[in-house]
Structure 1
Amino acid sequence: MSDGNAHPLKKFFSVAAFLAVALASLAMAGFAYVASQEAARFKFEATVDDAMNRIEGRLDLQLSLLRSTQALFEARDGQISRSEFNAFFDALEIKDNFKGLRGMGFVGFARRGEEAELEKRITQLHGVSRPILPPSEEDWRAPVLLYEPMDKANLDIIGFDMFTDPARRPAIDMAVRTGQPHATGRVILNQGEDKSIPGFLVFDSIGKRAGAPTASEARQGSSGLVFIAFRTGDLFQAALGTAPQLPVNAAIYDGKISDDTLFYRSPQQPSAAYGNKFQVQRTIVLGGQPWKLIFRPTAAFSEPSSPTIPVMLGLFGLLLAGAVAMVARYQERAYDAVSQLHEATEKSLLDKDLMLQEMKHRIKNSITRVLAMARQTAAHATDLNEFSQSFAARLQAMAASQDMLTRSRWQKADLRELLGIELRQVFGKELPDEMLTGPMVLLDETMTQALGLTFHELATNALKYGDVGESMEALKVRWTVTGQGKDRRLQLSWEESGSKNISAPSKVGFGTKLINMNIERELYGTIARDYAERGLIVRIEIPLAAAARK
């Protein structure tokens, strides 16, 4: 009796045990699936952060161009000839350095009925008589006086009254009244010739601002505006199309999300496997104009773990129904792994946010340095060609330093590599092995930027006034490091020799002032120049510890 009663109970217990383990396995598979989807979502949001960094970095670069153009016009009180503006435009090498830029120009102001002075200005600039069009009932006229690139397709833009366009008028008003760059909404560029190309413009006022409460009074106090126009497709493709290719499909809208406000859509199609499951929406503001950005993963996006793992886990649990302890242990390990993945992902997002804030701070500092350098170069230049050449060369020197820091993830840059880059850029030749002598010295961000400009100015002077252009043997750069810990100091000797007598200049130029400012004010070091009979020796000494420079 007892054995007969025990048999069905034992059978029921095995079935119950199997069902319990099977249910636990299926539950674990579902949990792993949810965890893998959450990890994939975090990974895609991190990829979106990378895309946002690229877009915002590209837009900040374009705004620095607008500021530089504004500095040029303010230095000359708006009196720039067509040939000078063309030379400035060509020196910037727009196609290589500012992809997505459609053009840049200058707009004047006049009250309705007083357009004759502006039409006279157009005739002086372009040698042809051109009326201000189209007719307008607005109180103010704002025709285009200068524009680059000036080709046949762009001739009609000269004299075009931008104030008649309801899409451009609010941006012009806000730029003049606030004294800050202001962007238009979505506009169509070159409609008819290049079909419908969406784009936008950014305006910035020049000259004294009236500070009056009304738009009319503010326009009367401004001598005009500079503007830059962009093809949004080219601009965002330049930002998102660089290697490594990000597995995101981006759609950018001007404010409200609709087909009429679409700025750009990535050529890479979103993956149908995800649908809208991982869709991420972000907002950025450019010149007071809010943009909506929607990101979706493409087929190239790979999840941190394979989606088949939860299925395999369920099958494995069914096959090992009796291994309750192993399932429990696996559950514990899976939970720990998911927790660690979640913590790591949260930390990664926090690090990326801090990095983004730091990058924005550095970009603003770089823009400030570029503006100061543009104003000082313009103040010391005798003509526009000299300004364009000097400013472009110094901008390239800054870019070389920035590139080194970017490749090192803004950690450290090697002194020898920095010297090699700047000297090869100026001399256009490979350097002899014996030209640079010294131990490895790693420079922080401040030292890299300051010394990069210093070496560029020294090399330019050596090429102009010394024998380095004829013989690379005429230049030796040697350096040593003294002291320990916080007392470590870099001692660098720049030695030029040759047949030419080099004497101290009678007047201190901007290049010399820039060198002194970088060494003494930026790096808290010392610099001494020895003008010998057959050469020049420049001795530089700076502290290497960051705390010693504060």
Structure 2
Amino acid sequence: MKKHYPIVAFVAVAIASLAMATFAYLAADEAARIKFEAAADDALNRIESRVTLHLALLRATDAYFMTRGGDVGADEFRAYFEALDVEHDFAGLRGIGFLGLADADRTALLEQDIARRQGVPKSVFPPSDADIRTPIMLYEPLDRPQLTGIGYDMYGEPARRDAITAAIETGEPRATGRLMLGQQVRAESWPGFMIFSAVERRQAGDDKPVGVLFATFRTPDIFDSVFDKFPALPVHAEVFDGPAEPQNSMFRTENAPHGDLVTTRQLLVAGRPWTIEFHPTVEFTRPTSQAVPVLLGLFGLLLAFAIAMLQRYQARAYDAMSELQENAAKSLLEKDLMLQEMKHRIKNSITRVLAIARQTAANATDIGEFSESFSARLQAMAASQDMLTRSRWQKAELRELLRIELSQAFGKELPDGMLNGPKVLLSETATQALGLTFHELATNALKYGEVGTSPDALKVEWRLRGGGGLLLVWRETGTNPVEKPEKQGFGTKLIDMNITRELRGTIRRDFSDGGLLIEIEIPLDGK
């Protein structure tokens, strides 16, 4: 229990501190959400106030037409529109107009009414199969003069027709969805929406309206007038006609969203449901910095760590002394094992050197040949030993072993593509045995092959086989045929002994007109 007490103390204090930090983080996050929702509600109120103002203007215009029984001329309507000062007081509104309303068989009467109001003849267009016609009789755009739209029948377009029908049936203003305005009568068009309001007759008993008022709104203008108002709100808004889906998007503010907060609000605009999504921008500041809970948590962890360290101090002194004694005993044991291993390796090396000396002497014709062959083989052993020493007697890399042995025979710069294969780590036994083998193969290639004059004639490739085996292919090519020697020399015997006895592998030689092919296959699980 004494050993685990510091851990228990650390965990208890850390949990309490992290709980406090989590509570502080959640409280800060909730405060930020409440503050942002307040900003979003402020933005929604601005939008709603702007829409309400425009609807009030449309109702006032409706009252004006009702008092005149719908009989308003172009000059009178222009004077009324100019008195409104739309550009300054009704930002986003691009124009107000009046649609005639009659059955399709009374189109000629509608054209006469247009000529009377405008003072010039205008035809109703385009052709339509609808039962009723609703041509523009009066229209005052903000960027007038515009007479090209007079006579255009809005009932022929589905989105406008639905809003006109709803306004006539309900007697209330009705809005369209997102429209491209102006494209029916001119080349220029812009995104927006329209609101229609039926002008009722004053005579009792006649329920058919005398016409339909309409107002056009340019979407960017109306929303820019809302969000450019001082003070600026730290919100990014996207307005959708209906559900918040990409295809329903009507407007998006230019400022980029920042953070993961989002608030969705619903707004009914002249019978048309809008969905507005609000996201914070970089200007939105949280009531409490998010760094406070983090610092609180870090302070709690540091406090828990300090308490645990104080509890652990005395135990560590005792543990340090015990560990020192244990390490001393372990070091003595490792030293003894290293001395035993060194004696064993030296004995094996001396045995191998004596065997090579006896076999070299038995096959040498004079002392000079003996000296040269014996020195070369000792040098191959030394290269392998050097690789093992540099790898601390653990593993040696096959490519590096080949490069060392072949560079002794063919020079330090080996041709590109001579060695090709994956990375393979060799054991101590495999390193020494393959080092001698590669030395013998390289010596024979220099003596009897064409590698001495053309290094590109030698290719060494290897790959791993299933079950942990290694397949190495030594390929010498040339123009002269290669014949199998009648007598097997010591070098060949040394190679076969290294592969079959030392490494428990197999070796196959193929002498042909195209050169010499040697395949060596050994297991890699040997020590």
TM-score bracket for this pair, using the shorter chain length: 0.5 to 0.7
The alignment status of 1:65 with 2:57, answered yes or no, reads: yes
1:157 to 1:210, Cα distance in 2 relative to 1, 3 A: same
**Does the aligned pair in 2 maintain the 1:106–1:224 contact within 8 Å?**
yes
The alignment status of 1:206 with 2:234, answered yes or no, reads: no
SS in 1 for 2:120: coil
After TM superposition, give the deviation of residue 201 of structure 1 in Å.
1.0
Q: What residue is the counterpart of 1:254 in the other structure?
A: 241
Aligned equivalents of 2:252 and 2:190: distance in 1?
A: 13
**Does the aligned pair in 1 maintain the 2:66–2:202 contact within 8 Å?**
no
Q: TM-score, normalised by structure 2?
A: 0.55
**Does the aligned pair in 2 maintain the 1:177–1:211 contact within 8 Å?**
no
The alignment status of 1:106 with 2:106, answered yes or no, reads: no
Q: What residue is the counterpart of 1:446 in the other structure?
A: none
Q: Structure 2 counterpart of 1:267, which letter? A: E
Q: Structure 1 counterpart of 2:192, which letter? A: G
The alignment status of 1:170 with 2:153, answered yes or no, reads: no
Aligned equivalents of 1:87 and 1:195: distance in 2?
A: 26
1:211 to 1:280, Cα distance in 2 relative to 1, 3 A: farther
Q: Structure 1 counterpart of 2:180, which letter? A: I
Q: Structure 2 counterpart of 1:307, which letter? A: Q
Q: Structure 2 counterpart of 1:237, which letter? A: D
51-60 vs 314-323, which deviates more? 314-323
After TM superposition, give the deviation of residue 207 of structure 1 in Å.
2.5
Aligned equivalents of 2:86 and 2:142: distance in 1?
A: 14
- The superposition leaves residues 253-287 of structure 1 with CA deviations (integer Å, 9 ceiling, x where unpaired) of 1113334322110111101xx2xx31111111111
The alignment status of 1:265 with 2:252, answered yes or no, reads: yes
1:151 to 1:317, Cα distance in 2 relative to 1, 3 A: closer
**Does the aligned pair in 2 maintain the 1:209–1:222 contact within 8 Å?**
no
After TM superposition, give the deviation of residue 113 of structure 1 in Å.
2.5
1:195 to 1:249, Cα distance in 2 relative to 1, 3 A: farther
After TM superposition, give the deviation of residue 191 of structure 1 in Å.
3.3
Q: Considering only CA atoms, is the larger Rg found in Structure 1 or Structure 2?
A: 2
1:197 to 1:150, Cα distance in 2 relative to 1, 3 A: closer
SS in 2 for 1:292: strand
- The superposition leaves residues 506-548 of structure 1 with CA deviations (integer Å, 9 ceiling, x where unpaired) of xxxxxxxxxxxxxxxxxxxxxxxxxxxxxxxxxxxxxxxxxxx
Aligned equivalents of 1:298 and 1:20: distance in 2?
A: 40
Aligned equivalents of 2:90 and 2:167: distance in 1?
A: 22
1:318 to 1:184, Cα distance in 2 relative to 1, 3 A: same
**Does the aligned pair in 1 maintain the 2:66–2:201 contact within 8 Å?**
no
After TM superposition, give the deviation of residue 145 of structure 1 in Å.
0.3
Aligned equivalents of 1:323 and 1:60: distance in 2?
A: 63
- The superposition leaves residues 55-108 of structure 1 with CA deviations (integer Å, 9 ceiling, x where unpaired) of 111111110000110111111111111111111111110011000001001111
Q: What residue is the counterpart of 2:83 in the other structure?
A: 91
Q: Structure 2 counterpart of 1:187, which letter? A: L
Equivalent of residue 291 in structure 1, options 274, 283, 288 = 274
Q: What residue is the counterpart of 1:396 in the other structure?
A: none
1:251 to 1:196, Cα distance in 2 relative to 1, 3 A: farther
Aligned equivalents of 2:152 and 2:98: distance in 1?
A: 11
Aligned counterparts, 1:316-395, within 5 A? 316-321=299-304
1:195 to 1:261, Cα distance in 2 relative to 1, 3 A: farther
1:194 to 1:281, Cα distance in 2 relative to 1, 3 A: farther
Q: TM-score, normalised by structure 1?
A: 0.53
Q: What residue is the counterpart of 2:209 in the other structure?
A: 222
Equivalent of residue 231 in structure 1, options 203, 218, 221 = 218
1:138 to 1:247, Cα distance in 2 relative to 1, 3 A: same
Aligned equivalents of 1:211 and 1:289: distance in 2?
A: 30
**Does the aligned pair in 2 maintain the 1:176–1:209 contact within 8 Å?**
no
CA RMSD of aligned residues (A): 2.4
1:162 to 1:302, Cα distance in 2 relative to 1, 3 A: same
106-115 vs 202-211, which deviates more? 202-211
SS in 2 for 1:95: helix
After TM superposition, give the deviation of residue 124 of structure 1 in Å.
2.0
1:185 to 1:119, Cα distance in 2 relative to 1, 3 A: same
1:232 to 1:139, Cα distance in 2 relative to 1, 3 A: same
Q: Structure 1 counterpart of 2:123, which letter? A: P
Q: What residue is the counterpart of 1:28 in the other structure?
A: 20
1:315 to 1:228, Cα distance in 2 relative to 1, 3 A: same
Q: What residue is the counterpart of 2:354 in the other structure?
A: none
Q: Structure 1 counterpart of 2:16, which letter? A: A
After TM superposition, give the deviation of residue 196 of structure 1 in Å.
5.1
After TM superposition, give the deviation of residue 17 of structure 1 in Å.
1.9
SS in 2 for 1:129: coil
Q: What residue is the counterpart of 1:305 in the other structure?
A: 288
**Does the aligned pair in 2 maintain the 1:200–1:230 contact within 8 Å?**
yes
1:204 to 1:21, Cα distance in 2 relative to 1, 3 A: same
Aligned equivalents of 2:74 and 2:189: distance in 1?
A: 29
Aligned counterparts, 1:500-515, within 5 A? none
Q: What residue is the counterpart of 1:541 in the other structure?
A: none
Between the two proteins, the alignment pairs up a number of residues equal to: 306
The alignment status of 1:39 with 2:31, answered yes or no, reads: yes
After TM superposition, give the deviation of residue 159 of structure 1 in Å.
0.2
Identity %: 45
Aligned equivalents of 1:135 and 1:209: distance in 2?
A: 31
**Does the aligned pair in 1 maintain the 2:244–2:276 contact within 8 Å?**
no
1:66 to 1:55, Cα distance in 2 relative to 1, 3 A: same
After TM superposition, give the deviation of residue 237 of structure 1 in Å.
1.3
SS in 1 for 2:106: coil
Give the gaps of 5 or more residues in structure 2: 308-527
After TM superposition, give the deviation of residue 164 of structure 1 in Å.
0.6
Q: What residue is the counterpart of 1:537 in the other structure?
A: none
1:310 to 1:190, Cα distance in 2 relative to 1, 3 A: same
Q: What residue is the counterpart of 2:228 in the other structure?
A: 241
Q: What residue is the counterpart of 2:140 in the other structure?
A: 148
Aligned equivalents of 2:6 and 2:76: distance in 1?
A: 92
Q: What residue is the counterpart of 2:373 in the other structure?
A: none
Q: What residue is the counterpart of 1:279 in the other structure?
A: 262
Aligned equivalents of 2:13 and 2:63: distance in 1?
A: 74
1:202 to 1:118, Cα distance in 2 relative to 1, 3 A: same
**Does the aligned pair in 2 maintain the 1:201–1:228 contact within 8 Å?**
yes
Aligned equivalents of 1:194 and 1:245: distance in 2?
A: 35
Aligned equivalents of 1:185 and 1:104: distance in 2?
A: 18
